[in-house]
Amino acid sequence: MPETEPPFDPVPVTVIEPPRGWIGINVGELWRYRDLFALLVQRDLVARYRQSIIGIGWAVLRPLISMIIFTFIFSKVAGIPSDGSPYALFTFSALLPWLYFSGTLQTSTSSIVGSAHLLRKVYFPRLILPLVGAVTGLVELLIQFVVLIGLMFWYQFAPGWQIVLAPLFILMAAASAVSAGLWLTALNVKYRDIGQAVPFLVQAWMWLCPIVYSSSQVPEEVRPIYALNPMVGVIEGFRWCFLGTTTPDWNIMAISFAVVLIMLLSGLLYFRKVEDGFADII
């Protein structure tokens, strides 16, 4: 009797199909690649402070030096009011969400082009790349929180009940940075001028935010237009959570948050629409 050959064991085949149409986020797929996400966050943190003498101390020095310069120029020289709180605290509490936003925006914008070697070799959800910067920035933000609390002790400033809302405004800052980053990183793949323009854009954007001044000093008739800047609501809300000296203008907050939501949804849709061509263009 001839021996019977064992049944053929087919090799499993994974078929990767491009998304069709304007589809949303595949949350399940993002979760399956969580290990890669954590690895990229760790890589960014290490690369950011590699061969740096001060290292993570830069996360503290940058807002502190900016606070000292702003306090001297805009408080001592220009005499700009600070809604009844010490000007140093007034500025520092606004610099924290701004520095998180600007850093995340710049990291997200260059994330796709900077990971060209990965895109050409392996498949993974491209959406992971602009999200990495948002998580990496949170590490620096946590360290800066410690400095802010130290300054509040120094000035004998105790936060009110609204401190519990601070995570909401941090979430809005992250959503603002990611939403703008999704648009800019997708456009940067095709038009590298975007990468060149973003540092200038961030610099100009800062002066349109209520960091060295309060939004109450903006003429009332132009406030609805001013509130179209999503960081206006974020910064005013964050400052109110910690200092609580002036209740924010809820109309401004509502407009800013609506803009964040529109930017985030449209950014996600646009990114998903064009992500299939990233590896071919880069």
Q: What is the pLDDT of residue 9?
A: 58
Q: What is the pLDDT of residue 47?
A: 84
User: Which regions in the chain score pLDDT beneath 70?
Assistant: 1-25
Q: What is the pLDDT of residue 118?
A: 82
Does the pTM exceed 0.85?
Answer: yes
Q: What is the pLDDT of residue 204?
A: 93
Could you please report the per-residue DSSP string of the chain? -PPPPPPP-PPP--------SS----HHHHHHTHHHHHHHHHHHHHHHHTT-SSGGGHHHHHHHHHHHHHIIIIIIIS----TTS-HHHHHHHHHHHHHHHHHHHHHHHTHHHHTHHHHHH----TTHHHHHHHHHHHHHHHHHHHHHHHHHHHTT----GGGGGHHHHHHHHHHHHHHHHHHHHHHHHH-THHHHHHHHHHHHHHHTSTTSS-GGGS-GGGHHHHTTSHHHHHHHHHHHHHT-SS---HHHHHHHHHHHHHHHHHHHHHHHHHGGGHHHH-
Spatial separation of the C-alpha atoms in residues 244 and 238, rounded to whole Å: 9
- Token pair for 43: 């890589």
| Structural contact between residues 180 and 267, judged by C-beta atoms closer than 8 angstroms | yes
Q: What is the pLDDT of residue 148?
A: 93
Q: What is the pLDDT of residue 20?
A: 53
Q: What's phi and psi for 227, nearest 5 deg?
A: -70, -10
Residue located via tokens 């090799």: 11
CA distances (Å), origin 199, targets 35, 85, 259: 31, 31, 22
Spatial separation of the C-alpha atoms in residues 162 and 240, rounded to whole Å: 7
- Token pair for 90: 């007034």
